[in-house]
Amino acid sequence: MDSQHLNPSSLKSRFTARFLRALIKINAQKPISSSSPREIFQRYRRIKVAADKSMAYSVRSRRTWSRATLWKLRSRSRRRLASSGRRSSIKTRTTTTTTTTTTSTNHRAAIVEKTSHEKENKEDHVGLAVQAEELRELVPGGESMDLCNLLDETAHYIKCLTTQVQVMKKIANLYSLE
């Protein structure tokens, strides 16, 4: 167990505090029959949204990807409030869209690899632009970024995702010790 003393204003601390508060709130909403599969699934969804939301809030609007995430979350909750019935389930972009794009972009990527190899591995912007399409779908707000910003935002996004995973893992391990 690493005994690092965390800076209270660090991203990790801010995320941890927010996420824990959200978990307490989610747990407080537990009904009597808290172990039905449906309940567990709903809780899973709430926890996942809380995790992404906590991270985006901890980054605030300093980054394009966090702004995009926050905007998406807010417009989603506004839609939900507006409509009386339950909308269709949250389509996670990762699981649904990437399965369909993977096959086509892998094919494209193979072609790009071949042509770039012919140019002795020197990438030009056209080749990277094709490759970046896949990345744009994975990084929130990626569609509207130029290549430079996309690469920069991606680096920050990955750092935040790894922090998120790290903290969630620690919390899960601590809970499973109870």
Partner 1 sequence: MSSRRSRSRQSGASRITDDQIIDLVSKLQQLIPELRGRRPDKVSASKVLQETCNYIRSLHREVDGLSDRLSQLLASTDTDSDQAAIIRSLLM
**Residues within the interface to partner 1 (CB under 8 A):** 5-6, 8, 13, 16-17, 20-21, 23-24, 26-27, 30, 34-35, 39-41, 43-45, 47-48, 51-52, 92, 94-95, 98, 109, 112-113, 116, 121-125, 127-128, 131-132, 134-135, 138-139, 146-148, 151-152, 154-155, 157-159, 161-162, 164-165, 167-172, 174-176, 178
Q: How far is the CB of 125 from partner 1 (least distance, A)?
A: 7
Cα(178)–Cα(166) distance, integer angstroms: 19
Question: Is the Cβ of residue 83 or residue 146 nearer to partner 1 in the bound state?
Answer: 146
Question: Is the Cβ of residue 42 or residue 75 nearer to partner 1 in the bound state?
Answer: 42
List alpha helices for the chain, DSSP H. 11-28, 37-59, 64-82, 93-118, 125-138, 147-177
**Is 113 within 8 Å of 119 (Cβ atoms)?**
no
Question: Is the Cβ of residue 77 or residue 124 nearer to partner 1 in the bound state?
Answer: 124
Cα(12)–Cα(152) distance, integer angstroms: 20
Residue 82 tokens, joined? 């507006």
Q: Which of 43, 45, 50, 32 is nearest to 168 (CA)?
A: 50
Question: Is the Cβ of residue 144 or residue 162 nearer to partner 1 in the bound state?
Answer: 162
